[in-house]
Amino acid sequence: MNGGEHTFGEQLEPHRRELQAHCYRMLGSVQDAEDAVQEALLKAWRGLEGFEGRSSLRSWLYAIATNVCLRMIERRPARVLPIDYGPASDPHAPVGPALAESGWIEPYPDALLGPDEGAAGPEARYEQREAIELAFIAALQRLPARQRAVLILREVLGFSGAEIAEQLEATPASVYSLLQRAHATLDERLPERSQQATLRSLGNERLGEIVNRYVEAWSRSDVDAIVQLLTEDATLAMPPAATWWRGRDAVVAGLARGPLDGARSWRLVPTSASGQLAMGAYRLDASGVYVPYSVKVLTLRGHLIDQITSFRDPSAPQRFGLPARG
């Protein structure tokens, strides 16, 4: 490796974190995003001689990463959350099996974003954390791939129409058309208020109280305490199962006959995921050890919990900097 190549490699690395967040927004999967970034950086390395500096290094890298994601999207169906997969389930029926053939949206570790929580540039419409919220990612996955790419590049990353046209080998007019159609769909699907706005309005003290009450309720298997935390039409989903419940009564009934029936013991450790309140959940096993079970992401409406998405993946807590054992 000569000195120029080594210097170029050093230039690439600082972009890895933001490229991974970009690929996650495109793909809805942390693992897929990691794979896409690896492929994109390899392509950038191999294409070094073709980079003539006509655009910025950042714009060039995003062009490569975006096109890698577009090709990946062609090979698989869009990822969803259970609430978009099928109708609500009967809370008195057993939880369904994991659906390996279904591609579920995954939560994103906030730590991967870095310290900057604001917009990527003056032209960006959405904050970086706002643009990884579960509702935002789910709405993005409903967009056709090129609409998704244009909206993220413009409204999350702040690239100009001319830059996006060059990145996607399109015309500025077609970029504008794609953006308009993407907005029409996204605006219909996004909630009126982002989680970032809700979290800021509540403040750290109130948020800490909500988290502590939820953690304590699970540690005591206290279903009555959970009732006090939920909105009337709250939902609970459990990917990779397609099962999900709608309404406070249904959620409480499902919890009471399932995980909070008193036969199981839990410990929850607070974390943050997808720009939202979250906890790593640990379940007591037969050997008397609390082992990782899931990551629970909470969506608030005001001071109450409106959605609980419990991602049942024993390896997930490790990605969020949580302990190997509870």
pLDDT beyond 60 at 305: yes
Residue 24 tokens read as 């996650």
pLDDT beyond 50 at 1: no
Provide mean pLDDT across the span 276-285. Answer: 96
Of the listed ranges 56-60, 206-210, 307-311, the one predicted with least confidence = 56-60
Calpha distance 241→98 (Å, rounded): 4
Question: pLDDT digits over 102-130, tens only?
Answer: 799 999 999 898 665 555 666 678 889 99
* pLDDT for position 123: 67
Of the listed ranges 3-12, 237-246, 274-283, 309-318, the one predicted with least confidence = 3-12
CATH 1.10.1740.10 domain span(s) along the chain: 1-76
Calpha distance 166→164 (Å, rounded): 5
Q: Is 34 exposed, middle or buried (0-12, 13-18, 19+ CB in 10 A)?
A: middle
Higher pLDDT, 47 or 62: 62
Question: pLDDT digits over 178-229, tens only?
Answer: 999 999 999 999 999 999 999 999 999 999 999 999 999 999 999 999 999 9
pLDDT beyond 70 at 24: yes
Provide mean pLDDT across the span 40-61. Answer: 79
* pLDDT for position 102: 75
Q: Residue 63 corresponds to which amino acid?
A: A
Calpha distance 268→290 (Å, rounded): 10
* pLDDT for position 57: 83
The per-residue pLDDT of the chain, averaged, comes to 91
pLDDT beyond 80 at 48: no
Share of the chain above pLDDT 90, in %: 78
Higher pLDDT, 131 or 48: 131
Calpha distance 87→210 (Å, rounded): 29
List the alpha helices (DSSP H) in the chain: 3-12, 16-27, 30-46, 57-74, 82-85, 134-141, 145-151, 161-167, 172-189, 195-219, 223-227, 248-257, 316-319
pLDDT beyond 80 at 163: yes
* pLDDT for position 117: 55
The CATH code of the domain at 1-76 is 1.10.1740.10
- List Cα–Cα distances, 33 to 97, 99, 269, in angstroms: 26, 21, 26
CATH 3.10.450.50 domain span(s) along the chain: 195-319
* pLDDT for position 26: 98
Distance of CA 174 to the CA centre of its chain: 28
pLDDT beyond 80 at 271: yes
What is the fold of 195-319? Nuclear Transport Factor 2; Chain: A, (3.10.450)
* pLDDT for position 6: 55
Instruction: Please say whether the dihedral angle defined by the alpha carbons of residues 265, 213, 109 and 87, taken in this order, is positive or negative.
Output: positive
* pLDDT for position 7: 64
* pLDDT for position 56: 84
